[in-house]
Amino acid sequence: MRISDLLRMGLKNLFRRKVRTILTVLGVVIGCLFIIITISIGHGMDRSFEKQVKEYGSLTTITIDTYGAIYDDNGNWVGGQEQKLTKDLVEQIRAMDHVRAVTPVIYIYGRYISGKYESGANIMVMDRSVFEAFEFPELMFGEYPNDEDNSTIVFGYNQPWEFYESNPTSWMNVKYKQVDLQKDKIFFKFDEWRYQRNPRRKEFMLPLTNVAKMVETKAEYDYNAYMDLEYFEKIYMQYCNTLTLDDRKKAMKELDEYQQIMLNVDNIDHVEEVQDKIKEMGYQSNSLMQYLKPTIEASKTLQLIFLFLGAVSMFVSAISIANTMVMSIYERTKEIGIMKVLGCVVKDIRMLFLYEAGMIGFIGGVIGVGFSYLASYLINKYGKPLFGALVNRGGSYLGGTEVAEVSYSIIPLYLPLLGLGISVVVGLLSGYFPARRATKISAIEAIRTEN
């Protein structure tokens, strides 16, 4: 038989038994839908995971804070400890294996002043040598602090905050100002309430003459400013000199202990190892890896379960196709016999039934793909109560902001093809043995049977 005749005859036969064909196709539709949606949710999880990593920093970063929370093996909080973060500790960590870069971190708070306007300032002080190792974002203008000039203050994309009137004539009608970092004259000063100023000294005001600004990252960087540690120590000394004698000593002491130590490990796989070593030294540390690990594992298990369900439903539809084909062959025994006597070669009979089975798979696959796009759309639109918790678990640990536009289900281009391919293959495989059986039918016996 010609291919065109095979196709026509097969379609006609499927059409002849409409209800049964539809029911069998439905099985494939469900199986295909299940597999595509499962994988698409997996992709959704991956995407949101990537997003979180982008938002909260690198997976290879470990931080040590002045307060270390202690967790047991199951991740339950069991207590905490004060931790002294000293220069010594930094050097000890620097000497460890797999540590690529390490820096102390000091958070400083104060104000930016520009004429009659001011704005809150929060600056992270770090060793200028680590900016590169920590893969800091690119700059729109300016340069990161370097050995030649360490005085640059690097602003995140959304920094500084909007300036407002320091002493407005009316609090009901506060004026705001858009400050241009490169043109306007801006000063930084430390918060006044912490230490007493020596009244005979002039208030410490740092003119921001050397600034840089990062491109937008949609991450933490956008809301911080950064300063080099060495430069900070220099200006801090100047600041301390403006304080009363008592407070000067207290303020100076702050330089001995850091608020945080940040380090970068050469490979994701070594994060745990390094954290364990730091623990041996008596310090609790944090890493994104440590929080995301349970989420990654949970999502992997979940995907595995989904995939298993998809496979089961495909298996069920395979049985259903095989059943349909066996039924169809049983009913068409006489027809097959007549065809054989009229000179139909065995190969054509086999092809005919394989084609019918494959066609059921194909039609089911096409409809399944269509439905899975619909289902994906619905999941993304209304699936928040169900999938929100699942996808955003990592975020909740880290107190992450709710992301406005989350895709729980993402269908990449290959996925419909995969779904369709699986459906057709399932159809062909489950049609194979019935088709073989059809070819084995003896013409003489088939002709003797009644319709």
Partner 1 sequence: MLKQSRNNKSENIIEVKNARKIYRMGKEKIVAVDDVSFNVKRGEFLCLYGASGSGKSTLLNLMAGIEKLTAGQIMIKGHNIQRMSERGLAKFRQNTLGFVFQSYNLLNSMTALENVELPLVFKHMNRKKRRRLARQMLINVGLGDRLKHKPTEMSGGQQQRVGIARAFVSNPEIVFADEPTGNLDSKTSREVMDLIKGMAKANHQTIVMVTHDKDLAMYADRIIHIRDGRIEKIVDQLAGNTAETAETAEAGGPEENTGQTEQGLEALPAHNPG
Which of 321, 352, 357, 319 is closest to 441 using CA atoms? Answer: 352
Stretch that binds partner 1, among 233-241, 257-265, 418-426, 440-448 (CB under 8 A): 440-448
Q: Which of 10, 13, 65, 258 binds partner 1 (CB under 8 A)?
A: 13
Measured from the CB atom, the residue of 4 and 178 that comes closer to partner 1 is 4
Q: Rounded to whole angstroms, what are the CA distances from 437 to 168, 434, 441? A: 92, 5, 7
- Nearer to partner 1 (CB atom), residue 222 or residue 335: 335
Interface with partner 1 (CB under 8 A), residue from 51, 248, 277, 340: 340
User: Which residues within the stretch 227-256 sit at the binding site for partner 1 (CB under 8 A)?
Assistant: none
Cα–Cα distances in angstroms (integers) from residue 124 to residues 13, 53, 131, in the given order: 74, 20, 12
Rule CB under 8 A: say whether 18 interacts with partner 1: no
Binding residues for partner 1, rule CB under 8 A, total 25
- Closest approach, Cβ 443 to partner 1, in A, equals 5
Give the residue with the Cβ less far from partner 1, 311 or 447. 447
Cβ closer to partner 1: 418 or 447?
447
Residues in the chain: 451
Among 70, 215, 305, 345, binds partner 1 (CB under 8 A): 345
> CA triplet 425, 431, 436: central angle to 5 degrees?
130
Residues with Cβ within 8 Å of residue 192, at least 6 apart in sequence: none
CB of 5 to partner 1, least distance (A): 5
Which of 301, 347, 378, 396 lies at the binding interface for partner 1 (CB under 8 A)? 347
From candidates 348, 357, 391, 395, binder to partner 1 by CB under 8 A: 348
Burial zone of 318 (CB within 10 Å; 0-12 exposed, 13-18 middle, 19+ buried): buried
Tokens of 412: 């990449």
How many angstroms separate the CA atoms of 29 and 9, rounded? Answer: 23
Residue from 343, 381, 399, 402 touching partner 1 (CB under 8 A): that is: 343
Based on CB atoms, which residue is closest to partner 1, 16 or 185?
A: 16
Binding status of residue 443 toward partner 1 by CB under 8 A: yes
Q: How far is the CB of 347 from partner 1 (least distance, A)?
A: 7
Of 76 and 451, CB closest to partner 1: 451
Contacts of 179 (CB under 8 A, 6+ apart): 112, 114, 117, 119, 160, 163, 186
Q: Which is nearer to partner 1, 8 or 234 (CB)?
A: 8
Strands 187-190, 117-126: pairing is unpaired
**Among 75-83, 274-282, 291-299, 442-450, the segment contacting partner 1 (CB under 8 A):** 442-450
Helix ranges (DSSP H) in 153-228: none
Residue 19 or 342 with smaller CB distance to partner 1: 342
Quick check: 339 binds partner 1 (CB under 8 A)?
yes
Smaller CB separation from partner 1, 201 or 448: 448
CB of 321 to partner 1, least distance (A): 21
Residue 195: strand, helix, or coil: coil
Give the Cα separation of 368 and 420 in Å (integer): 8
Least distance (Å) from partner 1 to the CB of residue 364? 23
Structure tokens at 393: 């678990």
Q: How far apart are the first and last CA of the chain?
A: 24
Q: Which is nearer to partner 1, 139 or 344 (CB)?
A: 344
DSSP notation for 10-49: HHHHHHHTHHHHHHHHHHHHHHHHHHHHHHHHHHHHHHHH
What DSSP line would sit under 308-356, residue for residue?
Answer: HHHHHHHHHHHHHHHHHHHHHHHHTHHHHHHHHHTT--HHHHHHHHHHH
Work out which of 19, 78, 95, 342 binds partner 1, going by CB under 8 A.
342
447 binds partner 1 per the rule CB under 8 A:
yes
Nearest-approach distance from CB 413 to partner 1, in angstroms: 37
Cβ proximity to partner 1, 17 vs 98, nearer residue: 17
Contact in structure between 119 and 179 (CB atoms under 8 Å): yes
- Of residues 317-336, which lie at the interface with partner 1 (CB under 8 A)? 334-335
- Dmax over CA atoms of the chain, in Å, equals 121
Residues making contact with partner 1 (CB under 8 A)? 1-2, 4-5, 9, 12-13, 16, 334-335, 338-348, 443-444, 447, 451
